[in-house]
């Protein structure tokens, strides 16, 4: 089975290759660059699933027969902000906002709120779309809360202010291995791997 990732990011491709290899699945993972690159997609849907599907369908249209595209859309949902930043997580402070600008806007909007009102979750929605248009969706999340100021040098985006449930350190303060075991993306990938394992076993 061949899976093409809807990104040009070599790090993400390598990460997925390692995860698939560790799961001992007979699946080859490629970058969208192998089929002409990721087509331009305007992420204008109101849900993570909608955006992930839009990207997956766009890439699937240029894939060889019998192969699959994998796309994701992820973000931070804060309860007291009615789920914001949500699908706008990467551009919360504006279309060309930096991670720091987005993070600072979030902290400003939550300023003065007590811990019990600072609950949040990271969401990851994966869309697998075949070259013939079949669709599968996998959803992962990580519950936690937002602290009052950034802590840690690792990670990216909102990692320096997000503390996962049951932990005392932010995503930016823990190792990438520990984060992978807790994260929304890791949880979504576990769902996908379980689906693929069952699908491949059924074909034997």
Active site residues per annotation: 73
- The DSSP 8-state label assigned to residue 82 in this structure reads T
Q: Angle of helix 184-203 relative to helix 10-22, nearest 10 degrees?
A: 50
Token duo for residue 112: 């003065």
Instruction: Indicate the SS3 state at residue 27.
Output: coil
CB 36 within 8 A of CB 110: no
Instruction: Indicate the SS3 state at residue 204.
Output: coil
DSSP codes of every residue in 120-171? EEEEEEEEEEETT--EEEEEEEEEEEE-SS---SSS-TTGGGEEETT-SS-T
Which run of H or E residues covers position 74? Answer: strand 68-78
């Amino acid at each position: 089975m061949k899976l093409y990732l809807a990104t040009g990011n070599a790090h993400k491709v390598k990460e997925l290759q390692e995860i698939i290899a560790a799961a001992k699945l007979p699946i080859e993972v490629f970058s969208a660059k192998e089929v002409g690159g990721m087509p331009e997609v305007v992420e204008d849907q109101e849900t993570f699933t909608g955006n992930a599907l839009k990207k997956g369908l766009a890439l699937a249209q240029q894939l060889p027969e019998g192969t699959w595209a994998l796309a994701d859309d992820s973000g931070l949902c804060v309860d007291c902000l009615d789920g914001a930043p949500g699908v706008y997580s990467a551009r919360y402070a504006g279309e060309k906002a930096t991670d720091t600008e987005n993070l600072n806007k979030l902290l400003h909007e939550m300023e003065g709120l007590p811990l019990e009102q600072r609950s949040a979750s990271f969401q990851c929605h994966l869309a697998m779309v075949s070259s013939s248009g079949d669709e599968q969706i996998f959803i992962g999340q990580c519950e936690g809360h937002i602290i009052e100021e950034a802590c840690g040098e690792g990670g990216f985006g909102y990692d320096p202010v997000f503390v996962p449930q049951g932990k005392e350190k932010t995503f930016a303060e823990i190792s990438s291995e520990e984060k992978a075991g807790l994260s929304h993306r890791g949880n979504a990938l576990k769902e996908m791997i379980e689906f693929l394992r069952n699908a491949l076993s059924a074909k034997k």
